[in-house]
Chains A and B, each alone.
Chain A
Amino acid sequence: MPVEYRKETPSQTAGPYVHIGTVPVACGIAMRQNERLDSIDAPGPRIVIEGLVLDGSGAPVKDAMIELWQADAQGRVGEHGLWGRAVADFKDGRFFFHTVRPGTLPWRAGRMQAPHLTLTIFARGINIHLHTRVYFPEDAAAQAEDPALNRIEQVERRKTLIAERLGDGQYRHVIRLQGDRETVFFDM
């Protein structure tokens, strides 16, 4: 018999009312002040990410809660890491993060990772949260060496992790849960 350990508590969907517990103000519960979690104040070049999650039929997911975890502008995580939380708009599904552009991060064995954001998606119908990344279109050289992108065998699929540049510091990123141009999700 192999050594047995405790088993991780199993995941369940966050359900349609995830906002009550995570962003109360989004569903009309004014219990907490000063909690703009989609706007991160840190030194570095400011960026805005406009996001959208689409289901397998191409319809926007209007009840998603999205979390962000990223390095600071100098590529540091840990106590310097930046965390945020955004809610898909109940009418059109769009969400926004106002943050700073992350720096290049270290990887294992002295290698580096191209600048990226980690996003996790929680919603009704998603039994265990989905973990993905957003890279920036200007960083093609660093991305050619990036260990996560290079792990994706199908080169076409790597493009699903690159945001679209709208303007200076402004990006749009569509996350497709299923089907045509399905976004890459990771098991970390």
Chain B
Amino acid sequence: MNAKIQPGENQPGRTAWQGDFVRRDRAWHPPAYTPGYKTSVLRSPNCALISLEQGPAEKTGPRFARSMLHEFDNDLTINYARATGSGGEAIGERIIVHGRVTDEYGRPVPETLIEVWQANAGGRYRHVKDGYMAPLDPNFGGCGRVITDAEGRYFFRTIKPGAYPWPNNGSDWRPAHIHFSIFGEAFAQRLVSQLYFEGDPLIPLCPIVNTIPDKRAIDSLVARLDMGEMRPFDCLAYRLDIVLRGRQQTFFENLTEGM
């Protein structure tokens, strides 16, 4: 827990009783039961979710101090090799991934932790359970993290992950993707999702992508090629903006019992 932010450390104070977060639109998110994605069949609740007003535990959440980050946490092209001491660099297409985190009202979400993980350029994960025949890259771990700045911006450098097959239907391949996890300022905003890359023809074929019912929602997970932020003779850039639930204004104190 050394990583937890301490009171007064680069965070404006917020009380538990500020406004509620906008209710999640669960018709926009994927439902739990999506038989095209076979694992969801036995891992989805049959009963409806119980809706409840937000209390202090939902309207606050963990904060993470910038001081917990290691020097190359947001540079996946070198962070693993530096940690293991090999000193090399990962093989693959060098890219910057960046964007801005805002809430649904467009307010920036500053100083929030984003964690990312991904396969290497060949689609192989550095994980004891990944038995895909594509080789590991001795200089690539595939995990990184970054904390957004005061304007909600984030950026990391990595290599573009490869597509890989997975045992769903016999012919399923995941599009190239980067998993990301973001905390926001309250546990109600907690979100884990996946970033895809513009133009990838595997996106519309993927049963996991297609758990999301709305094409516009899928499109909001597709990072755009960003030639404005590419580095000449070095790396391309992709941009993905992330939107978290918005915090409502407190026009009136909520006194309803709600029961």
Contact = CB atoms under 8 A, between A and B. Distances in A.
Nearest to B13: A79
Contacts, number: 286
Interface in B226-259: 242-246, 254-259
Nearest to B196: A12
Nearest to A67: B190
B104 A6 contact: yes
A22 B42 contact: no
A161 B31 CA distance: 23
Interface residues of A, number: 83
A10 B74 CA distance: 23
Interface stretch (A43-51, A105-113, A135-143, A165-173): A105-113
B7 A28 contact: no
Interface in A4-29: 5-22, 24, 27-29
Contacts of B41: 56, 125
Contact of B52 (A6, A17, A63, A188): A188
A11 B192 contact: yes
Contacts of A42: 1
Contact of B83 (A14, A30, A105, A107): A30
B106 A6 contact: yes
Interface residues of B, number: 101
A71 interface: yes
Interface stretch (B18-26, B87-95, B197-205): B18-26
Contacts of B209: 12
A73 B37 CA distance: 41
Given A81-B57, A128-B29, A151-B259, A185 B50 contact: yes
A7 B192 contact: no
Given A126-B43, A151-B259, A81 B60 contact: yes
Nearest to A40: B1
Given A17-B130, A55-B43, A8 B116 contact: no
Contact of B28 (A8, A29, A61, A90): A8
B222 to A, nearest CB: 11
A11 B257 contact: no
A109 to B, nearest CB: 5
A9 B221 contact: yes
Contacts of B116: 21
Interface of A: 5-22, 24, 27-32, 34-35, 37, 40-42, 55-57, 59, 61, 63, 67, 69-71, 77-79, 81-84, 90, 105-109, 111, 113, 118, 120, 122-130, 147-148, 150-152, 157, 177-179, 182-188
Given A16-B127, A31-B141, A108-B256, 5 more contacts: A6-B246, A12-B221, A18-B179, A79-B6, A125-B37
21 contacts: A8-B28, A8-B244, A10-B29, A13-B208, A14-B181, A16-B130, A17-B125, A17-B129, A27-B127, A28-B128, A34-B2, A77-B60, A79-B63, A108-B55, A109-B254, A127-B32, A128-B26, A147-B258, A151-B51, A182-B46, A184-B47
Interface of B: 1-7, 11, 14-16, 22-26, 28-32, 34, 37, 39-47, 49-58, 60-63, 70, 79-80, 83-84, 102-106, 115-118, 125-130, 141-145, 179-181, 187-188, 190-194, 208-209, 211-212, 216-218, 220-221, 242-246, 254-259
Q: What 4 A-B pairs are tightest by C-beta distance, nearest first? A: A21-B117, A125-B39, A83-B62, A125-B43
